[in-house]
Amino acid sequence: MLLEQVRIFLEQYTAENKLAQSYVEERLQQFTAAGAVDYTIEEMDYALKLAWRNSNKCIGRLFWKSLHTFDRRHLKTAQEIYEALLAHIDYATNGGKIRSTISVFDPSVRIWNHQLIRYAGYKTANEIIGDPASVEFTQKCQELGWQGAGGRFDVLPLVIQVGDAAPVVFDIPKTHILEVELRHPTLEWFRELGLKWYAVPMISDMKVEIGGLDFVSVPFNGWYMGTEIGARNLADSERYNMLPIIAEKMGLDTSKNMTLWQDYALVELNRAVLYSYKEDGVSIVDHHTAVEQFLLFEKQEQQAGREVTGNWAWLLPPMSPATAAIYHRPMDNTKHKPFYRYQQAPYQ
């Protein structure tokens, strides 16, 4: 029952922000009188920070208090939503000194993108050009009239749907897109691979339930942990599959596993990612530092008298997992609401 869940949320908000208990009754009466639940920006801001703090798969939660919230619940047209997304991208990017940011839109708005900035994937008869993870969404964009350049790193358009209206496709002007060209601190040939990645990861397809209300358009960004790019996006065989090519260039014996050529190539690719982002002044965290920050987060939470929950499998970096202190102990994966969660894609 909605008002019961709203009460639970308001009680947590009141307790953690040291407000008078009467605040809960006042707000419930206002919602009942208005016949609708309309959270204040302060209540929304707290809820979105709390949802981040409760997201068990996130290793970056130490900084949960520094999330910047943009309240865009009043925007109604695709055009003004597009402009708000560009403003989010600019504010978050901040010339490379990335700011963790979230924008919250009216529940009638849906963003069809997985991330605000991501590369297209073009499936042809015998190969995929670009990011294989984007093939389905790229085809959707083409059905909606988008013409991609057919390259390895074409930024996809924003696809915004309001209510039941047809989705609207908007290109992101290059001036809003910060990217990092990848080079290696000592391997001079690395740059010739022509690899690059975008600076800011901005997830735009998750939802958050706050006191029984579903907010289905809450694009949020942080900064990358290097392994996401170097150990997954550019390394996975079903993504950019760069390990064999890098191993070849390194002159490694790739004919048998025992030479650990994949592991050698993996380390150099990840060193290139961290080195390039650092040199370009773009925020990034290596997986060792990220684990140390998570340990600090755990300590901070315990000092606040809160139990820390986490998804052990997801919190372990995909590279050298046993170097992470959390590898050696179990973790409580209890789910506390609110938290960010998956939802059905609007086009499936």
Write out the catalytic residue numbers.
Answer: 58, 61, 223, 228
- Within residues 266-285, the interface with ligand HEM by CB under 6 A covers 285
Site map 318..347 versus ligand HEM, x via CB under 6 A: ----------------------x-------
Tokens read off for 51: 């949802």
Give the one residue of 11, 19, 28, 63 binding ligand HEM; rule: CB under 6 A: 63
Tokens read off for 267: 């380390």
- Asked if 201 touches ligand UGT (CB under 6 A), the answer is yes
* 107, 215 Cβ separation under 8 angstroms: yes
- Asked if 55 touches ligand HEM (CB under 6 A), the answer is yes
Size of the site for ligand UGT (CB under 6 A): 8
State how far the Cα of 337 lies from the Cα of 50, in Å rounded to an integer. 9
- Within residues 212-251, the interface with ligand HEM by CB under 6 A covers 220, 222-223, 225, 228
Give the one residue of 58, 85, 133, 158 binding ligand HEM; rule: CB under 6 A: 58
State how far the Cα of 257 lies from the Cα of 243, in Å rounded to an integer. 13
Burial state string for 275-292 with b = 16 or more CB within 10 A and e = fewer than 16: bbbeeeebbbbbbeebbe
How many residues are given for the chain? Answer: 348
Q: List for the chain the helix, strand, coil content (%; round to 5).
A: 45, 15, 40
* 9, 211 Cβ separation under 8 angstroms: yes
Give the one residue of 144, 168, 203, 250 binding ligand UGT; rule: CB under 6 A: 203
Size of the site for ligand HEM (CB under 6 A): 19
Q: Which is nearer to ligand UGT, 222 or 310 (CB)?
A: 222
Q: Which is nearer to ligand UGT, 24 or 206 (CB)?
A: 206
Q: Is the bond preceding residue 338 a cis peptide, omega within 30 degrees?
A: yes
- Asked if 100 touches ligand HEM (CB under 6 A), the answer is yes
Least Cβ distance, residue 290 to ligand HEM (angstroms): 6
Residue 329 has phi, psi (to 5 degrees) of -150, 160
Residue 153 contacts which entry, ligand HEM, ligand UGT, none (Cβ below 5-8 A, type-dependent): none
